[in-house]
């Protein structure tokens, strides 16, 4: 990719510093931020209240390219999955998820976007299509935030809840992720409250602790998928580096720094991690860190041999948690019919084009 920075990767402070260096008045920074995040222009030439000479200077120093939507699966009233093409020809995905009436009521305006942070993934979680082609590169802050702009344009309404659990491991791209979060939460940017942002990680212990020390009250979800090392290592190679006990020590540190409850994500895979004894152990672990548990029956990935358990078995697993006093939800159907597992659309597009 070209080394020229994207304007939508710059924070308000960076704009101020850049404009001071160019000998421009401070108010120019506010004008450009308004064009970028409120008016959402697609080119520097559209910034009509800037002098022509300044626009030419900006075009020399910056770009304003954005991903394009290649494909959208689903409908307005259901989960919609978007395949986006980046400037370098690579693909990423994001997913629009409307509010569930059962959880939020019929009149809820909650609209969640599942955001990608990398092209591909190096962590090779066994249930996930994102890592099947390996890791390509990190997304820039501008590419992360562009997913929100494109999703809002498609939906015709504001996205008010973000989960960083699309393609890639967010904490492996922590500097760009934190910069994107500054753009997302800033009043000059998208102005989405930090409490409406959730970062999902496969369990990068040092980065969890670093994020715990960050001042924003961001929510954290852990892709756990196994309550013991024996089971989790079958699914999550990262567990061989940071085992379950070390991970939960980091989560206790998180709790000492943050107010929001943790969420443990647990994909139920038939015959792999759905034994009811795992539910009992999971209940004890969740209670120790005051965590909620989100159970997700496995979404079939082409080329992988695993299956989802029966609905009755999923409910039995959930009920063990609930009967132990754990807040547990079971997401039986959210996008199973639109290649919902992370990276499936990208996998199909890139393998078909090679």
Instruction: Decide the pairing of beta strands 135-138 and 68-73.
Output: unpaired
- DSSP-derived secondary structure for 258-298: --SPPEEEEEE-TTTT--HHHHHHHHHHHHHTT-EEEEEEP
342 is annotated as an active-site residue: yes
Active-site choice (265, 314, 342, 350): 342
Structure token pair of residue 230: 């024996």
Burial degree of 102 (CB within 10 A; 0-12, 13-18, 19+): exposed
Helix (H, G, I), strand (E, B) or coil at 144: helix
Closest residue by Cα to residue 271 from 302, 313, 330, 228: 313
Q: Do the annotations mark residue 336 as ligand-binding? A: no
Catalytic-residue membership of 182:
no
Would you say 224 is a known binding-site residue? yes
The 3-state DSSP class for residue 2 equals coil
18 is in an annotated binding site: no
Catalytic residue among 63, 93, 188, 265: 93
User: Is residue 225 marked as binding?
Assistant: yes
How far is residue 313's CA from residue 303's CA, in Å, rounded to a whole number?
24
| Alpha-carbon gap, residue 117 to 346, rounded angstroms | 14
The response to whether 50 counts as a known ligand-binding position is no
Is 121 flagged in the annotation as binding?
Answer: yes
Q: Which helix (H) or strand (E) holds 38?
A: none
Q: How many CA atoms lie within 13 A of 290 on its CB side?
A: 9
Q: Is 299 annotated as a binding residue?
A: yes
Annotated binding-site members for [4Fe-4S] cluster:
121, 125, 128
Residue numbering of the annotated binding site: 121, 125, 128, 168-169, 200, 223-225, 299
Which residues does the annotation place in the binding site for S-adenosyl-L-methionine? Answer: 168-169, 200, 223-225, 299
Catalytic residue positions, numbered: 93, 342
């Amino acid at each position: 990719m070209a080394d020229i920075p994207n304007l939508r990767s710059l924070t308000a402070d960076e704009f101020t510093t850049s404009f001071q260096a160019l000998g421009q008045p401070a108010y120019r920074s506010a004008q450009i931020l308004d064009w970028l995040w409120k008016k959402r222009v697609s080119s520097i030439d559209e910034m009509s209240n800037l002098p022509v000479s300044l626009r030419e200077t900006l075009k020399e120093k910056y770009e304003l390219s954005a991903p394009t939507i290649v494909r959208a699966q689903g409908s307005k009233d259901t989960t919609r999955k978007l395949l986006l093409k980046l400037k370098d020809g690579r693909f990423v995905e994001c997913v629009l998820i409307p509010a569930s009436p059962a959880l939020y009521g019929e009149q809820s305006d909650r609209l969640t976007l599942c955001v990608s942070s990398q092209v591909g993934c190096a962590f090779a979680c066994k249930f996930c299509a994102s890592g099947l082609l390996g890791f390509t590169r990190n997304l820039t802050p501008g590419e992360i935030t562009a997913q929100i702009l494109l999703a809002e344009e498609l939906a015709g309404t504001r996205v008010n809840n973000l989960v960083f659990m699309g393609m890639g491991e967010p904490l492996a791209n922590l500097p760009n992720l934190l910069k994107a979060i500054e753009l997302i939460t800033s009043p000059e940017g998208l102005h989405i409250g930090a409490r409406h942002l959730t970062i999902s990680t496969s369990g990068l212990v040092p980065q969890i602790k670093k994020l715990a020390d960050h001042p924003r009250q961001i929510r954290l979800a852990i892709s756990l998928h196994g309550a013991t090392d024996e089971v989790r290592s079958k699914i999550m190679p990262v567990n061989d580096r940071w085992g379950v006990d070390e991970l939960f020590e980091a989560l206790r540190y998180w709790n000492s720094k943050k107010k929001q409850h943790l969420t443990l994500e647990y994909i139920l895979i038939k015959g792999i991690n759905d034994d009811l004894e795992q539910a009992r152990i999971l209940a004890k672990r969740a209670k120790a860190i005051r965590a909620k548990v989100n159970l997700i029956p496995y979404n079939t990935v082409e080329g992988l041999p695993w299956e989802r358990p029966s609905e009755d078995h999923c409910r039995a697993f959930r009920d063990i948690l609930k009967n132990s006093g754990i807040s547990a939800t079971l997401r039986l159907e959210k996008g199973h019919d639109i290649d919902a597992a992370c990276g499936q659309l990208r996998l199909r597009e890139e393998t078909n084009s090679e």
